[in-house]
Structure 1
Amino acid sequence: MSQILIIEDEERISSFVAKGLKASGFQPTVADTGKEGAYLAQTGDFELVILDLGLPDEDGFSVLASIRSTNQGTPVIILTARSGIDDTVAGLEGGADDYMSKPFRFEELLARVRLRLRPQAAVAEDQVIRVGELELDSGSRRTRLRGREIDLSAREFGLAEAFMRNPGQVLSREQLLSRVWGYDFDPGSNVVDVYVRYLRNKLGAEWFTTVRGMGYRFEEPS
């Protein structure tokens, strides 16, 4: 089980990311200050670091520099509200392996985490997901059913990917909202039901089972 360090001072975001990572098979640890995060990152106990730039005690760039001064190998993903090109360039040139802006979708963050943790030879294979005769390529953003290409919108694609990475499992509406629509969502929204209906129309209703009071289960039709 890969250990991941989250350096983030906003509890709502750190809790959301930690819960999502734990549900996906990782072991997250949260540090809410730059000083604590830099210390933990330098222990060598973590296989990946998710770093916010707007920390209460010091700027995230200095934390990144501190990590890289003693640890060149651990992947660092910057996750921040700063979306300017200057910050992005500074982060990547400062040693970060990836840069994501808030607000964000958890499914995209999870894909980037998996990408950084896998040997490069396994990356291309991991981009293609197959369940029965349904194939999804997260690299080219293409979906094929029985060899025929299916046109999906960005949200439909994200929802299909969430289902196809968890075949046979019951996923709640809250899980799907957080993974596809991001952490800042309305839990009372019916948007998941609407988009499941879209996917049923395009892929076939037989792929999706409604589990009353719980959510949806996706699996190959028998």
Structure 2
Amino acid sequence: MQILLIEDDQTTSDYVRQGFTEAGHVCDVLFDGSDGLFQATREHYDVIIADRMLPGLDGLSMIKALRAAGKKTPVIFLTSIGGVDDRVEGLEAGGDDYLVKPFSFSELAARVAALSRRPALVHEETVLKIQDLEMDLVRHQVSRAGQVIDLQPREFKLLEVLMRAKGRVVTRTMIIEKVWGFHFDPQTSVIETHISRLRSKIDKPFETQLLQTVRNAGYSIQIPG
């Protein structure tokens, strides 16, 4: 098995590499998130093990960029950041598993073996499109009728959530969880504010209005009919 370990702690990286080497696997080690991203996109690995706190590029950003580039290599986060929200954040960033330090090598090896046996994931869309509205997830760019639209990060994420729903209604609770996080106060008007800003950018300059408010339910991006 070919394993890529991205871990800036020398003691931990030596320990993990020795364990996998003794088990007959190849374990390449890098200490920087930027280097890890470059290596992971250039070479084939069966599993990637990554810390979250890395120099150059943090683990979450690295895995998000890896997924945006279309790489489906299984990833396990190996980190000291172990809260429930942290685990959820890691999995939502594109991680497949999450192991908190201190850890036993036998458990890490078992989890890596399990990930390597998973069937390959189906191809995930990198371009979302509804009518003439298009979102390129790799280039992080939104356009409508060929006109590039400048969105703030939260606006981009909100639009992504709505477009992935493919015309289905997305409730306020779903938006809160996916865009702001589980513990955000749902009583604030932040959703309405961002919806209004998003509508002014993707709908107002155009003839067809795609962003729909569904009374007492939520919002959706769909072609009026």
What TM-score, normalized to structure 2? 0.51
Residue by residue, what CA displacement relative to the aligned partner does 1:64-121 show, whole Å, maximum 9, x if unpaired? 111111244210000000001111001111110000000000000000011011146x
Name the structure 2 match of 1:170: none
CA RMSD of aligned residues (A): 1.2
Name the structure 2 match of 1:100: 99
Change (3 A) 1:71 1:31: farther
Q: Which has the higher helix share?
A: 1
- The DSSP-based 3-state class of the residue aligned with 2:42 is coil
CA distance in 1, matches of 2:98, 2:23: 21
Change (3 A) 1:95 1:22: same
- The DSSP-based 3-state class of the residue aligned with 1:42 is helix
Structure 1 residue ranges without an equivalent (≥5): 121-222
CA distance in 2, matches of 1:71, 1:7: 19
Say whether the 8 Å CA contact 2:41–2:71 is kept in structure 1.
no
Change (3 A) 1:80 1:23: same
Q: Residue 115 of structure 1 aligns to which amino acid in structure 2?
A: A
Name the structure 2 match of 1:76: 75
Q: Residue 90 of structure 1 aligns to which amino acid in structure 2?
A: E
- Report deviation, 1:58: 2.4
Name the structure 1 match of 2:53: 54
CA distance in 2, matches of 1:119, 1:5: 17
Name the structure 2 match of 1:159: none
- Identity within the alignment, %: 41
**Match runs of 1:182-221 below 5 Å:** none
Structure 2 residue ranges without an equivalent (≥5): 120-225
Q: Which structure has the larger Rg over C-alpha atoms? A: 2
> Following superposition, which runs of at least 4 residues in structure 1 exceed 6 angstroms of deviation?
none
- Report deviation, 1:30: 0.4
Is 1:45 paired with 2:47? no
What TM-score, normalized to structure 1? 0.52
- The DSSP-based 3-state class of the residue aligned with 1:22 is helix
Q: Residue 67 of structure 1 aligns to which amino acid in structure 2?
A: L
